[in-house]
């Protein structure tokens, strides 16, 4: 029998995240958005109460919650502010490849850093000419003795200006397309250059940066997994993080719906609150259905992951539907507010801007449709490559921003 009831532990995590969003995020979210303020104070508080890095295994000092528990946190914090949640949650996108394939030494060192202090890390996949088409990346990693030398640039990197270390994808075989990509841990002090901070439409409380590597040397043992297996590793990571991105979209959608409901009860036109007009009621009803459907898809994708089953197509269903629903609901919320919804003084204007990135990072809605079509038309048989979407169509930008990022984010 299918049971959608959260366990007591999962509900406690959801309550913790909601209370944190109410007390620490909502009161400052719109001001942070206005000024593009990086939420350093909130990062410290979230780290202290365990609302960061919750997927790090216990063996490396983490708490390692299950995916269904994790997306409860991600929905609630995004209800508070998805830009701040992007900042807090992007670490999981960056350390995901390390958990999956890193050596014991790398895990102890770099996961340990995140456990011991409120530090950030970034996922670096997207480039100026390589977004969805990851195979076109130009960043290279050339092995020289006991080191790799990296050259190239990355864009839309969530937390890029503040990261302590980076998970970087680079070509180790320039002629092999996606099969020539490898993944590396690159500490910031190896010589990473932050080129600029992006001035974004939405999620302005998250840092999105362009970074570059100019003859950056790292030890050869900072390779994650095997050489030329980076593409598969990236796709495995994104399958694991997309349920969380879907949950973030649900948080945005839910917030927009709640503001629209409250406003529709207060705003009087033609002698009655506009909530009494059938046209508004139908809009609210559609919002409610879409929030519920998006949440259920996110939950299913997370549960499949917790069960050790292939969640590629369901993760794409969840991410695509939730992202599109968030954009539609935020748009309709602005419509319900009328002219006031177009004014920055009113909350739905921010949510409208924040929602758009959900259709872009961690794989655009169009890329998700390509994945869904491929998986539907040509279902994969079990194989050693079953964790990979098998082509550049599955690629994303970063963890949570025009990536990625932002990945979460790049």
Please give the positions annotated as active site: 362
> By the 8 A CB rule, do 167 and 224 touch?
yes
Rg (CA), the chain: 21
Q: Judge residue 285's burial from the number of C-beta atoms within 10 Å of its C-beta, 0-12 exposed, 13-18 middle, 19 or more buried.
A: exposed
Q: Judge residue 240's burial from the number of C-beta atoms within 10 Å of its C-beta, 0-12 exposed, 13-18 middle, 19 or more buried.
A: buried
Rounded Cα gap, residues 123 and 323, in angstroms: 21
Rounded Cα gap, residues 368 and 242, in angstroms: 10
Bond from prior residue into 406 cis (ω within 30 degrees of 0): yes
Closest CA to 238 of 404, 26, 60: 404
Rounded Cα gap, residues 289 and 87, in angstroms: 29
Rounded Cα gap, residues 206 and 160, in angstroms: 10
> By the 8 A CB rule, do 264 and 275 touch?
yes
Task: Tell me how far the alpha carbon of residue 91 is from its chain's centroid.
Answer: 9
117: how many CB neighbours lie within 10 A of its CB? 10
> By the 8 A CB rule, do 231 and 181 touch?
yes
């Amino acid at each position: 029998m299918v049971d959608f009831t959260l366990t007591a532990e999962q509900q406690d995590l959801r309550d913790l995240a909601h209370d944190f969003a109410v007390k620490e995020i909502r009161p400052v979210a719109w001001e942070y958005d206005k000024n593009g303020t990086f939420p350093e104070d909130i990062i410290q508080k979230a780290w202290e109460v365990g609302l960061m890095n919750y997927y790090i295994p216990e063996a490396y000092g983490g708490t390692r919650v299950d995916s269904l528990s994790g997306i409860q946190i991600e929905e609630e914090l995004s209800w508070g502010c998805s830009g701040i949640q992007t900042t807090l949650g992007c670490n999981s996108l960056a350390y995901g490849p390390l958990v999956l394939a890193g050596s014991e030494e790398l895990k102890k060192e770099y996961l340990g850093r995140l456990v011991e202090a409120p530090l950030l890390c970034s996922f670096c996949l997207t480039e100026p000419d390589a977004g969805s088409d990851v195979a076109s990346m130009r960043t290279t990693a050339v092995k020289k003795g006991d080191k790799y030398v990296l050259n190239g640039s990355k864009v839309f990197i969530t937390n890029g200006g503040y990261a302590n270390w980076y998970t970087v994808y680079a070509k180790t075989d320039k002629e092999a397309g996606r099969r020539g990509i490898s993944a590396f841990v690159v500490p910031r002090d190896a010589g990473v250059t932050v080129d600029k901070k992006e001035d974004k439409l939405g999620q302005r409380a998250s840092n999105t940066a362009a970074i570059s590597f100019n003859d950056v040397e790292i030890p050869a043992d900072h390779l994650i997994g095997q050489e030329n297996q980076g593409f598969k590793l990236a796709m495995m990571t994104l399958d694991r993080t997309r349920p969380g991105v879907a949950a973030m979209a649900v948080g945005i959608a839910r917030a927009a719906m709640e503001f629209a409901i409250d406003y529709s009860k207060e705003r009087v036109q033609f002698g009655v609150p506009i909530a009494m007009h059938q046209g508004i009621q139908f809009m609210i009803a559609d919002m409610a259905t879409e929030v519920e459907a998006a949440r259920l898809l996110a939950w299913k994708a997370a549960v499949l992951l917790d069960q050790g089953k292939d969640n590629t197509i369901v993760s794409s269903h969840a991410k695509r539907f939730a992202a599109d629903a968030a954009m539609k609901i935020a748009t309709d919320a602005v419509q319900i507010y009328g002219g006031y919804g177009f004014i920055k003084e009113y909350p739905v204007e921010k949510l409208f801007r924040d929602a758009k990135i959900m259709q872009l990072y961690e794989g655009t809605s169009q890329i998700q449709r390509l994945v869904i079509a491929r998986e539907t038309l040509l279902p994969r048989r079990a194989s050693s490559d079953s964790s990979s979407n098998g082509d550049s169509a599955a690629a994303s930008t970063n963890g949570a921003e025009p990536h990625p990022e932002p990945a979460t984010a790049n």
